[in-house]
Each structure stands twice: as structure tokens, then as C-alpha cells.
Amino acid sequence: MSIIEQNKLEPVSLKDVTINDHFWAPRRKINREQTIPFQYKQCKETGRIDALKLNWKQGDPEIHPFWDSDVAKWIEAASYSLATDPDAELSKLVDEVIELISAAQQEDGYLNTYFTAVKPGKRWTDLRDAHELYCAGHFIEAGVAHFQATGKCSLLDIVCRYADYIDSVFGPEEGKIKGYPGHQEIELALIKLYHVTGEARYFRLSQFFIEERGNEPHYFTEEKKKYGPGYFEELFSTFANLKEYNQSHKPVREQDKVVGHSVRAMYMYCAMADLAKENGDEKLREACDRLWNNLHYKNMYVTGGIGSTAEYEGFTCDYDLPNESAYAETCAAIGLVFWNHRMLQLDCDRKYADALERALFNGVISGISLDGKKYFYENPLESLGEVHRKEWFGVSCCPPNISRLLGSLGQYIYSQSDSEAIIHLYVSGSAKFKLANQEIKLNQTTNYPWDGNVSIQLEVENPVSFALKLRIPSWTKSAGLKVNGEMVSLENILDKGYVRIEREWKNHDQIELILPMTIEKVYAHPSVRQNRNHVALQRGPLVYCIEGIDNTHYLSQLSLPRDKELTAIFDQKLLGGIVKIVGNGEITEVYDSEDLYQTKPFTTKSFEMTAVPYYAWDNREAGPMKVWIPES
């Protein structure tokens, strides 16, 4: 048995998890009541939904090749919401859109509005650029989510027909296309479809797309020779290495450095982890490990944001992490959550849950306003005051992506094996596990992320033996544990950053986890040239920033003395109720002179600095922002 097979976990089903805390529950409520209806309106008004009617004609505004994916992600987000909070009106709306999708599907199973209405006869001629398989993947994910949420097969049957058709077109067999998507996505979607249907052909097709990528002769080179320039030829002609841009520069098992477009990379790595888990494939897992190390140790922002350049929405070189020009696309941080969640099921190692949590609490939810109506496509770590969230985008992948993550949040909190119940994230609510032939319920009570005290109570019908594992986040330095009121030493029960308590559990047994939250000053690796002599502030899982509204509109003149203490204060009235950080900073006094340069050093004066969680910036009046603060 491989290491992967020994350690395999399964997430607890979304339907078996409830969330009723003060941090996530309000956001999920806003997602249900504001965001999902608003996104439907945007998809309707911008023509994305009506494009499914296939009545486009020459002279009309052109349907975008990505549009199907936006509609599919909206259905997926709505389905997750229906799974936990049934809503007859939303269900009816989803059914209406599914009817349009059904009518748009061709007799052979093909389903794509752009290539059916705008470019008929051009199917599969632009895999590199036109997102045909990417859109198919999002339809498949939506079909799986809708079936799991509602039990209805209406969309699942549609996507199975489409997947069957795609399987008849692509593969290693004689006469089939030996290509793969320019934008990865369908690979992970097919694994989901395989899990729901048990149809092995979907698994093999996912495996084909992954294993074929990067082989010679290079498919995209041959495609261009055969069919001519792709949809984005003008843009892509400016890229130094287009093969690296879409991670087709070498076979996936040989890749060891994150390159190219960050979202494409994350979705591909997700599929690699899925396949490694299904097959017990150690070599594929080793490739994931190499890529994970390169990303997390050399190419990730302190917020969990990834992809530093807007030029091609991706990675540049190791340790290149500019702040003001940081791209850090919301979709990329979401992809990082997806990938770390999959790695966590392969191996219950704290580093994956820590990375998931960092991205989730910082780089992901910064992408949506507190009222759930505006979005960041990119998430800089510094702004002069000109960067603001918007209601929608021409390419609007991020809004429905963040909505589907919020809707499915419950499945990221817990996992289980045959003999273990595992808590990765601390969120008030409950979860049901099937262990030792009975249902076990865990009830969490906590004020996380403002407080690190977590209380867990068990509900069991009969005394039962199993192991309970609790993550000790790397940001806490002196965790404590009590079982039924008695202190328990962590010395011999830590397993890759998780406390493992194996015993016979009885009804109403109580576990208390104490995770002290102190204000930490974070320093970047010296090779990150942009952050030399700067410091970032973190408390618990949250990264902080300073905004002009709380401090001064000349944030560049503010610094933090190394030896001054900082204080955490809960402010119920600020930004929906947050813990802010306050302390003595220093601000440079500017002489009354118009000279741009001078030989006399400037002096400083004390200044009361206030920092707020990074996710909450740009929710008040416009102004500058900084994560990394000069240290004096």
C-alpha cells in the first residue's frame, strides 16, 4: 500500500456541516441573499444567459468564448446555497437556466454557445485560446453540484452527454484528437463526475488530458499550423514563453517550478492531486510536492495571493513580489484553496491547512466587498487610492468563483478517514461523521478569527473509539488542550501539526483548544527586494494593512519603530466588528521647502497608527493602503 493510500482522507459532505458563527455565517447569508441574485441579474443583463438561446446573428455584439463558464459557476454557487438553505424561488431560477442549457445542447451532446452560434463548424480548432474545454469543465462542475444539492438529474444528464461526446473526440486511441485544453479546468471536473457516476471513462479522460500535456510533438504548435492563429494570437504573440504560460512547456511529471498563468496552474495542480489520490500515484504526488514548495516558499504573497504580474496574470521569477503592482487575482487565491484542500486529503499535514486558511481569510475574501456587491479582480498589497472594487467585469470569472467558494465553505472545515475525525478550520457550527458504524456529531463553539479559544462537544449514541485530530496553526506559539476539563500535554500527540487524541469517547465529552493569538511582525525573505526593511502585521490567520482613512493619506511617510508595543482591540462599530491593531508609529515631518532633494535628514514625530484586516480594506472612503510598513 502506498503512502497516499494509507493517508487518504475524505471531506465531510457539505450537507453534513452547519455554520452558525459570527464571521462566516453573515457572509454566507449575504452570498445567498445579495450576491447570487445580483450575479444572476448581471448574467442576464450582459447577455450571458440569453446567449444560450443561440439566436445570435451577424452584427450583434459578439458572444464571448468565456460566457458559458460564468453561467455555470453561478449555477454551481446557487446549488451549494440550495444544499444548505433551500429556496424555492432560487431553485426555480436555476431550473429555468438549466432548461436553456438543455435546449442549447446539440444532438451529439456538444454544448458551447460561442462555437454553436458564432463559429459553427469550428469546434476543437482553437483549444489553446478559445476555452472550449474550460467551459465544458465548469458545466460539468455545475452539473455535479446541482445533483448533489437537489438530487435532480436535469443538469447532470446534460453534462454526462457532453462528457460522453468529448470522450468520443479526445484520447489516445486512433482517430481521436491528441489535444488538451489551453486553460485547464475540465481535468478536475471529470474527476468529480467520475465520483458521482462511477463511470471510469471520465477518470481516464481526465488522466489523458493531464498526461498528454507538454508532450512532443507539441499539440498547440501543430494546431496553429493546421488551423491558423488562435483567438488571442495578438495578445499571446507578446509573451516570451507561451508554452510556460499554459504550463505545456514540459510533461506535468517533470515540472518543478510554478510558471505562467496562475489560475491555469492551480486548476492543473488540483487535477494532478486528484489523480495521485485515486491511483496512489507517488510520482505524480512528488511533482505536486515540488510545485507546492516552489510556490509557497518563493512565489506567494503574505496574503495568500499568487501571480504577481498583470501582463499574463501569473508568475514571474522566484521572490518577485511587488506590492503596488501585485496582480494576485482573486480566482488564483481561490485556486490555491482548492489545491491545498486536495493536498490535505492526500496527507493530513498542517502546512496545507495553514496555506488554505491564509488564502481564504486574506487573498480570497478581500476579493468581495462586505456588502457582497462589488469585487476585486486583482488584489494589490499597496494602493495610492486609485484601486476599487467593481460590480462586474467584461471577463467576470472572479465574482461567481468567490460566490461558489463561500457557498461550499462547509466542505473545507472537516475530513475523516475510517478511524479519524479531523478538524482543519475553526468555525462555530457542527458536523456529522460516520465512524464505527454510528453517527458522531461534533459541535464547535468559537469566536475565531478574533479569538483562538475553541470548544468542541461530542454527541454519540454509545461509547465509541476513534481518533480526533485538531490542527494547531503555525501562527500560535503555545497551544493548550483540555479533555473533559483536564489539561493534556501535546508533547507526544502531535502528528504533522495536528493533535491526535485517540480514546473511547462518550456522549457530551468536551475538548477545549486554546490557541493564543498574539500580534506578530512578519518579515519577508531577504530576497524579496520590495520588502527589505519592511514589516507586515498578522494576528491569528489575519494579515493586516493600514489605510489612509485611519492614519494619514501620506502612508509612505509612516513607519513602525521596532521596539514599540502594539495592541489588539475589538471594535464592534468598525467594518462590521473587527479586531484592530493600534500602536505608536512614526511619521516623517516634511520641511517647509519645495526642494525635491536636500542634504539635511528629515525628523519624525510619534503617530497613533491603526491597522485593520486586509480583507476589509476599500470598504469605506477611497484612500491609500499598505500591507508592508517601513520599520524604523
What would the mean pLDDT of 399-407 be, rounded to a whole number?
A: 97
Could you give the percent of the chain with pLDDT greater than 90?
A: 92
- 5 HSE (CA, 13 A, CB side): 6
User: What pLDDT was estimated at residue 282?
Assistant: 96
Instruction: Give one DSSP letter per residue of 293-336, joined into a string.
Output: HHHHHHSB-TTS-B--BTTTTB--STT---STT----HHHHHHH
User: What pLDDT was estimated at residue 1?
Assistant: 43
Query: Using only C-alpha atoms, what is the Rg of the chain?
Result: 25
Q: Are 180 and 212 in contact (CB under 8 A)?
A: yes
More confident residue, 59 or 151: 151
Taking the C-alpha atoms of residue 168 and residue 161, their distance in angstroms, rounded to an integer, is 11
Taking the C-alpha atoms of residue 583 and residue 28, their distance in angstroms, rounded to an integer, is 33
Please list the residues that pair with 18 across neighbouring strands: 430
What would the mean pLDDT of 60-78 be, rounded to a whole number?
A: 94
User: What pLDDT was estimated at residue 388?
Assistant: 96
Taking the C-alpha atoms of residue 90 and residue 96, their distance in angstroms, rounded to an integer, is 10
Name the pTM for this structure: 0.97
pLDDT at 81 > cutoff 80: yes
What would the mean pLDDT of 45-68 be, rounded to a whole number?
A: 92
pLDDT digits (tens, 9 = 90+) for 117-133: 999 999 999 999 999 99
Q: Which of 243, 261, 355, 340 is nearest to 304 (CA)?
A: 355
What would the mean pLDDT of 514-538 be, rounded to a whole number?
A: 97
Is residue 426 classed as helix, strand or coil in its secondary structure? coil
User: What pLDDT was estimated at residue 2?
Assistant: 52
User: What pLDDT was estimated at residue 4?
Assistant: 53
* H/E run at residue 285: helix 282-298
DSSP 8-state symbol, 115: I
pLDDT at 394 > cutoff 50: yes
User: What pLDDT was estimated at residue 17?
Assistant: 98
User: What pLDDT was estimated at residue 5?
Assistant: 55
pLDDT at 545 > cutoff 60: yes
Is residue 605 classed as helix, strand or coil in its secondary structure? strand
Q: Supply 375's cell numbers.
A: 469585487
Taking the C-alpha atoms of residue 271 and residue 267, their distance in angstroms, rounded to an integer, is 6
pLDDT at 3 > cutoff 60: no
Taking the C-alpha atoms of residue 625 and residue 326, their distance in angstroms, rounded to an integer, is 13
Residue 262 buriedness (CB in 10 A; 0-12 / 13-18 / 19+) = buried
Choose the weakest-confidence range: 47-61, 467-481, 496-510: 47-61
pLDDT at 6 > cutoff 60: no
What would the mean pLDDT of 486-492 be, rounded to a whole number?
A: 94
User: What pLDDT was estimated at residue 600?
Assistant: 85
Strands 414-416 and 494-495, by their bridges, are unpaired
Taking the C-alpha atoms of residue 571 and residue 61, their distance in angstroms, rounded to an integer, is 49
Domains and CATH numbers, the chain: 46-230 (no CATH), 415-514 (2.60.40.1180), 519-630 (no CATH)
Is the Cα torsion angle 324, 360, 182, 63 positive or negative in sign? negative
Taking the C-alpha atoms of residue 223 and residue 133, their distance in angstroms, rounded to an integer, is 15
pLDDT band at 558 (very low <50, low <70, confident <90, very high): very high
Taking the C-alpha atoms of residue 176 and residue 57, their distance in angstroms, rounded to an integer, is 32
User: What pLDDT was estimated at residue 172?
Assistant: 97
The residues annotated with a catalytic role in the active site are 313, 397
Across all residues in the chain, what is the average pLDDT?
96
Could you give the percent of the chain with pLDDT greater than 70?
A: 99
Q: Supply 42's cell numbers.
A: 448581471
User: What pLDDT was estimated at residue 599?
Assistant: 87
Q: Are 401 and 4 in contact (CB under 8 A)?
A: no
Q: Return the C-alpha torsion angle 290, 184, 345, 357, nearest 10.
A: 80
What would the mean pLDDT of 44-72 be, rounded to a whole number?
A: 93
Q: Which of 274, 249, 267 is nearest to 259 (CA)?
A: 249
